[in-house]
A and B are shown apart, each in its own frame.
Chain A
Amino acid sequence: MSFREVMRGKAWKYGDDVDTDVIIPARYLNSSDPTELARHCMEDIDAAFASRVTPGDFIVAGKNFGCGSSREHAPIAIKASGASAVVARTFARIFYRNAFNMGLPIFEAPDAVDEIETGDRLAVDMERGSLRNETKGTEYRFTPIPPFMRELVSAGGLLNYIAKRKKGG
Chain B
Amino acid sequence: MTLTEKILARHAGRDAVAPGELILAKVDLALGNDVTSPIAIQAFRTFGAAEVFDRERIALVPDHFTPNKDIKSAEQVKMMREFAKEFGVVNYFEIGRMGIEHVLLPDEGLVVPGDLVIGADSHTCTYGALCAFSTGVGSTDLAGAMYSGEVWLKVPETLRIVLSGRPAKWVEGKDVILHIIGEIGVDGALYRAMEYAGNGIAHLPMAWRFTMANMSIEAGAKNGIFPFDGATKAYSDGRAKRKYEVVTADPGARYADEISVDLSALEPVVAFPHLPENTRPLSAVGDVLIDQVVVGSCTNGRIEDLRSAAAVLRGRKVHDGVRMIILPATQEIFLQAMREGLMETFVEAGAAFSTPTCGPCLGGHMGILARGERAISTTNRNFVGRMGHPESEVYLSNPAVAAASAVLGRIGGPDELP
Are A and B associated in one complex?
Answer: yes
> Which A residues contact B (CB, under 8 angstroms)?
17, 19, 21-22, 25-27, 29-32, 44-45, 63-64, 67-73, 75-76, 90, 92-94, 97-98, 101-102, 148, 157-159, 162-163, 165-166
Residue of A nearest to B147 (CB): A162
Across-interface contacts of B143 in A (CB, < 8 A) = 159
Chain A residues closer than 8 Å to B42, beta-carbon distance = 32
Stretch at the interface among B132-140, B164-172, B295-303: B132-140
A selection of 18 A-B contacts at a CB cut-off of 8 Å is A17-B186, A19-B384, A21-B381, A21-B384, A21-B385, A25-B390, A30-B72, A30-B73, A45-B384, A69-B121, A71-B35, A72-B36, A72-B39, A76-B39, A93-B191, A148-B152, A159-B46, A162-B147
B363 touches A27 (CB 8 A): yes
Q: Which residues of A contact B119 (CB under 8 A)?
A: 70
- Chain B residues proximal to chain A, CB less than 8 Å: 22, 35-36, 38-39, 42-43, 46-47, 64-65, 69-70, 72-73, 76, 119-122, 124, 136-141, 143-144, 147-148, 150, 152, 186-187, 190-191, 217, 220, 222, 275, 362-364, 381, 383-386, 390
Q: How far is the CA of A165 from the CA of B222 in the complex (A)?
A: 25
Q: Which residues of B contact A93 (CB under 8 A)?
A: 190-191, 220, 222
Asked if A98 and B22 sit within 8 Å, CB to CB, the answer is no
Q: Of A21, A25, A101, which contacts B141 at CB under 8 A? A: A101
Q: Which residue of B lies closest to A89 (CB)?
A: B187
Q: Which of B47, B136, B362, B383 has the most CB of A within 10 A?
A: B383
Please determine whether B385 and A22 come into contact, CB atoms closer than 8 angstroms. Answer: yes
Q: Are A97 and B386 in contact (CB under 8 A)?
A: no
If A72-B36, A92-B190, A93-B222 touch, does A30 touch B76 (CB 8 Å cutoff)?
Answer: yes
Chain A nearest CB from B122 CB (Å) reads 4
In the complex, the answer to whether A19 meets B122 with C-beta atoms within 8 Å is no
Chain A positions within 8 Å of B187 at CB level: 17, 63-64, 67, 90, 92
Chain A nearest CB: distance from B408 CB in Å?
28
A94 to B147, CA, bound (A): 20
Q: Which listed residue (A21, A27, A90, A94) contacts B138, Cβ 8 A?
A: A94
Cβ contact within 8 Å between A32 and B136: no
User: In the docked arrangement, what's the CA distance between A162 and B187, Å?
Assistant: 30
Q: Kindly list chain B residues whose C-beta atoms are within 8 Å of the C-beta of A97.
A: 137-138, 141
Q: Contacts A26-B362, A64-B190, A70-B121 given: A101-B384 contact, CB under 8 Å? A: no
Q: Are B383 and A21 touching (Cβ within 8 A)?
A: yes
Contact A69–B141 (Cβ < 8 Å) = no
Q: Whole-angstrom distance between the alpha carbons of A30 and B66 in the complex?
A: 11
Residues of B contacting A101 with CB < 8 Å? 138, 140-141
Q: How far is the CB of B187 from chain A (nearest CB, A)?
A: 4
16 additional contacts (CB under 8 A) given A26-B35, A162-B147: A17-B186, A21-B381, A26-B364, A30-B70, A70-B120, A70-B124, A72-B36, A73-B35, A75-B138, A93-B190, A94-B122, A97-B141, A101-B141, A102-B138, A159-B46, A159-B47
Contact of A67 with B186 at beta-carbon distance under 8 Å, contacts A98-B138, A101-B141, A157-B140 already known:
yes
Q: Does B390 lie within 8 Å of A44, measured CB to CB?
A: yes
Report the bound CA distance from A99 to B286 in whole Å.
41
Does B186 lie within 8 Å of A64, measured CB to CB? Answer: yes
Kindly list the 9 A-B residue pairs having the minimum CB-CB distance in the complex, ordered from nearest. Answer: A98-B138, A30-B72, A64-B187, A101-B140, A72-B138, A26-B362, A70-B122, A44-B385, A70-B136
Evaluate contact between B384 and A44: CB separation under 8 angstroms.
Answer: yes
Residues of B within 8 A of A148 (CB): 22, 152
A10 and B242 CA atoms in complex are apart in Å by 54
The verdict on A166 contacting B383 (CB below 8 Å), with A17-B187, A72-B140 known, is no
Please tell me if the beta carbons of B384 and A90 are within 8 angstroms of each other in the complex. no
**Which of B76, B148, B381, B390 touches A162 (beta carbons < 8 Å)?**
B148
Query: Which has the most chain A C-beta neighbours within 10 Å: B122, B191, B384?
Result: B122
For residue A162, which residues in chain B have a CB less than 8 angstroms away from its CB?
Answer: 47, 144, 147-148, 150
Complex CA–CA separation, A148 to B20 (angstroms): 12
Contact A70 to B138, CB < 8 A, known contacts A32-B42, A93-B190? yes
> Shortest distance in angstroms between A21's beta carbon and chain B's nearest beta carbon?
4
A73 contacts which chain B residues (CB < 8 A)?
35, 39
Q: Would B390 and A29 count as touching, CB distance under 8 A? A: no
State which of A29, A30, A44, A159 has its C-beta within 8 Å of the C-beta of B144.
A159
- The smallest beta-carbon distance between A30 and chain B, in angstroms, is 4
Q: Which residues of B contact A30 (CB under 8 A)?
A: 65, 69-70, 72-73, 76
> Considering the chains assembled together, what is the distance between the CA atoms of A72 and B140 in angstroms?
8
Chain B positions within 8 Å of A45 at CB level: 384
Nearest to B153 among chain A residues (CB) is A97
